[in-house]
Structure 1
Amino acid sequence: MSSQGGFGTGSPKSFRYPRGGDFDLESGSPRKGRKPKNAHLETSIVMRIRYFYEAHPVAVALILLSFGLSVLVLLSVYETRFRAMRSVGAWSSDGREYPFPKLRNLVMVAGHSIYTSSRCGETESENSWFLEPYQKHPGQAATFLAHIKEGVGIAARDEGALLLFSGGETRRDAGPRSEAQSYWAIAESKGWFGEFSAISTFLG
């Protein structure tokens, strides 16, 4: 008996599995590679997208434009919030105080009209105000003045109060003037800020 390799003459031959691809052990032949199950589905989706693009190029352009604008808006909002958070962190880390740290109360005087006269000596005349039809009655201008003076007085009596004149450019024909600006200008011209103690004012 020969002792080559530890196998006798009747030992089976060694088997080497072929590299690459599947192999059928029963038939002794390699199998064909299987195609992915979703290959047809992917091709169908691509063909549909291509067909839609060729049939409706304007619609596709509008969709892409809307998507781009949405991304820009989201990035802008994120950047604004990020800057706000950084600014708050900067105030805290630097140890600086916030503006008006002692103020605790808000006195808001809501504007109801715009003063259109070039002179502040006619504040009690309804013709000096841009009034809506429902506001045109005697005593309306005097009501505005009383409202302004009362707000200034309340804020002056409270050291922790901030006076806010509220009202934007609500009348197009009145020009680039706001209700808040009108109220502040009248209070300034009347000397009401100096009549009371020093107060903090803000236009909104």
Structure 2
Amino acid sequence: MVAGHSVYTSNSCGKVDKEDSWVLESYQKHPGQAATFVTHIKEGVETVAKDDAALLLFSGGETRKDAGPRSEAQSYWAVAESKGWFGNKETVRWRALTEEHARDSFENLLFSVCRFRELTGTYPTNITVVSYDFKEDRFAGLHRSALRFPESRFFYWGTPASSTAREAALKGEALVRQQFQEDPYGCRGSLHRKKLGRDPFHRSIPYPNGCPEIEGLFRYCGTALYSGSLPWI
């Protein structure tokens, strides 16, 4: 799963590494930021190319009002297509799909698990997440634990932020990580409000349709870990 961070809006995919081709939040407006998105896309494609049994999901909803009703996931798929799948078109393109409703990192993971079940009829045996290196503790620690997914079958591939953004990114990450430690399912307070703000087009979320076995997990909101039955335990 490649977690989306922005929406690509340029009419020419030849400008994918230019910041003005993406709708960026104020904290993302740093030189080199767009190139980090392309790196995530490339790493996701190349990781899946090494495993014929793997599925690639780009995850991210219609989070930017200024971008119009375009999803982060569609943007990433379009960039990969424009790049010829980085030389892996024949082996990856038909195994690369989208999850177009996630509004934060926890939903990137949870919704992608459900989308995988929807597409394949089963749940993933292994999960690999591609995102920034400074988010590893959030994904591989907090979010994986919230899903109670086995640590031995969860993998993380992190890439660095741009040098101009790293200091601010680390400070911001520390705050978000603390929020998820207190609210592991992102269903209360500031995390919940942030998700609402990332849904400018009021999209109806279809899940847990497609993954009925984990409906209880989708409905759960608490500070303790969900204790119900899960198909990967």
Larger-gyration structure (1/2): 1
Instruction: Kindly indicate whether structure 1 or structure 2 has the higher relative contact order, using CA contacts under 8 Å at least 6 residues apart.
Output: 2
TM, length-normalised to structure 2? 0.40
TM, length-normalised to structure 1? 0.46
